[in-house]
Structure 1
Amino acid sequence: MADSGVGSGVAGPVLGTPDSFPDRPGRFGRGGRSIAFLIIGIFIAIAMGGWGYVMMSAKGNPDVMTEVIAFQVGGPSSITITFQAHKAADRAAVCRLRATDTDHVEVGTRDVTLPAGQADVQLTERLETSARATSGHVQYCYLVQ
């Protein structure tokens, strides 16, 4: 029988086995890779903390929680807003009420002071507007000394 030449005389794999190659530690080695992962982890933690701060500061002071109960348009030059605020009883707060028109353009604002002594305050306030308002809301509230 004739030898076809394929696979004849080959004692093992052509490219070798894993034992044929010397151990290479890699580009950084085990210690360098751990340091790189640690630096990346610290960077991600700092970025997440910064993002959390930005999101909290964009919302304003979360120590005063507000909810608009109702608003009633009183003609082309005023709106009445009824809202409730929850805050620390021993602190006063200032809330900005805002009226907008159909294009969401601000047509009136007013700052209202919530006195110290009550934690839950419900107020009904009238805003003068420069044009007919279609909605009213509490833009923000913050505690004062």
Structure 2
Amino acid sequence: MTTQQTLDERYGRTRSERARVVLWTVVGAVAVAAVGLLSWATIANTVDAVDAVATGYQVEDARTVTLDFQLTAPVGSQIVCVLEADDTDHGIVGWKVVQLPASGTHTQAYSETIPTVAEATTGLVNNCWVS
């Protein structure tokens, strides 16, 4: 017998079966609640997920870039996107906020013209979200 067992026996510090059952019941309930919360958070974050990919751009002149992009979003949701035009040093020389109407399909292709303050070398989609 170990010293701890001897002391527990001498001073009556034994754990009851009921205490173990209560402990494991509480641990199980907390685990189930945590899994439920993580599942709900994952689903809530993906329901309104918007994915935008720039599919091409054309530098029209020193003050204009046309950006083609594809948007995947929830059906029936209005979307807001921030588009930008960058120069050779990756500085932003133009940007535009566009509001796109609700669509009946998940994926749509768009083309937008971005005004610039200097000649741009690229156009890209900065961010999109459900409005």
Q: Does 1:79 align with 2:65?
A: yes
| 1:1-145 alignment runs, 5 A limit | 63-119=49-105, 120-144=107-131
SS of the aligned residue for 2:61 comes to coil
The one-letter amino acid of 2:127's match is Y
Using the alignment, how far apart are the partners of 1:106 and 1:141 within structure 2?
17
SS of the aligned residue for 1:88 comes to coil
Indicate the structure with greater helix content: 2
State which structure, 1 or 2, has the greater radius of gyration over its C-alpha atoms: 1
Structure 1 residue 64 displacement after superposition: 0.5
Deviations 1:35-63 (A, max 9, x none): xxxxxxxxxxxxxx9xxxxxxxxxxxx71
Identity %: 32
Structure 2: tracts of 5 or more residues without a match:
5-37, 39-47
TM-score by length of 1: 0.56
SS of the aligned residue for 2:96 comes to strand
Structure 1 residue 95 displacement after superposition: 0.4
Q: Which has the higher contact order (CA 8 A, sep 6+)?
A: 2
The one-letter amino acid of 2:95's match is T
TM superposition outliers: structure 1 runs of 4+ over 3 Å: none
RMSD over aligned Cα atoms: 2.9
Structure 1 residue 90 displacement after superposition: 1.6
TM-score by length of 2: 0.62
Using the alignment, how far apart are the partners of 2:94 and 2:124 within structure 1?
11
The one-letter amino acid of 1:142's match is W
Deviations 1:42-93 (A, max 9, x none): xxxxxxx9xxxxxxxxxxxx71101111100011111000001010012111
SS of the aligned residue for 2:118 comes to coil
